[in-house]
Amino acid sequence: MIALLKGFLVLLVAIPYSVLALASIPIDRSGKTYHMCARHWSKFILWIFGIRVKVRGKEHVGRGRVIYASNHASWFDIPAAIAGIPDDIRIMLKRELTYVPIWGWALKYGPYIAVDRTNPKDALRSLDKAADQIRSGASVLLFVEGTRTKDGSLQPFKRGAFVLAMKSGVPIVPVTINHSFSILPKGSLKVRPTDIEIVIEPPIETSGFEGKDGEIALMKQVRAVIERNFQDVANREP
């Protein structure tokens, strides 16, 4: 009952933040006001569910436009990343989220990038939009597994972040999110509050990578960094 009440409050508070975010779009073309609204709402979500976010590696943020490449274990990764990464970021997210009334409209028309994962041509257009956001001065965050893990382990990486990195020529920053899987596993509706840890590593320059072989090499390097920091709940003793 309490969880349902908290969920209702999150949706209720989403309305004014979404309206404000929508209203900011024609006024602030940079998207900074929009992201500020998303950050405040994300902090409210984390607070109402009793989740704290601890960030290591903040000193690696603020070195210009970058692509953040992160693992993805829970729905709470999105508010945690928005609230925890101290940068003006644009999230790439699944298009299904834009179907939610009011909040989804803000996602659809705002600077965040919605991706139709079932349509390769649309996915390429989304990468073009992400490249435009980078050229306009923002950083972009992608969840490199493409979707949330089902068992808490690190899944195979998708190509999107690495195609975008080589296309835009900006550094890529490995980001590891730990402890979020146990809060809300995929397919579950029960929230179990715990602290989320975000580990931000130094940027990896992409200028030395070329072609498909370079893309694969870049992916392997980013994965090795994330694996080093990742705490795999699937392999823990019960």
What φ, ψ does residue 181 adopt, rounded to 5°?
A: -60, -40
pLDDT greater than 70 at residue 236: no
Average pLDDT, the chain: 88
Q: Among 4-8, 43-47, 128-132, 228-232, whose mean pLDDT is lowest?
A: 4-8
At residue 32, the pLDDT reads 92
Dig out the tokens for 21 from the structure.
């975010």
For every residue of 61-93, DSSP letters joined together read: S-SSS-EEEE---STTHHHHHHHHS-S-EEEEE
Dig out the tokens for 24 from the structure.
């900011």
pLDDT digits (tens, 9 = 90+) for 134-180: 888 889 999 999 888 888 899 999 988 998 888 888 999 999 999 99
CA 175/CA 223 separation, integer angstroms: 10
Q: What global pTM score does this model have?
A: 0.90
Closest CA to 228 of 71, 66, 21: 71
CA 142/CA 144 separation, integer angstroms: 6
Q: Helix 211-229 and helix 160-168: axis angle, to 10°? A: 120
pLDDT digits (tens, 9 = 90+) for 51-108: 999 999 999 998 789 999 999 999 999 999 999 999 999 998 888 888 877 778 888 8
At residue 62, the pLDDT reads 85
At 62, the amino acid letter reads G
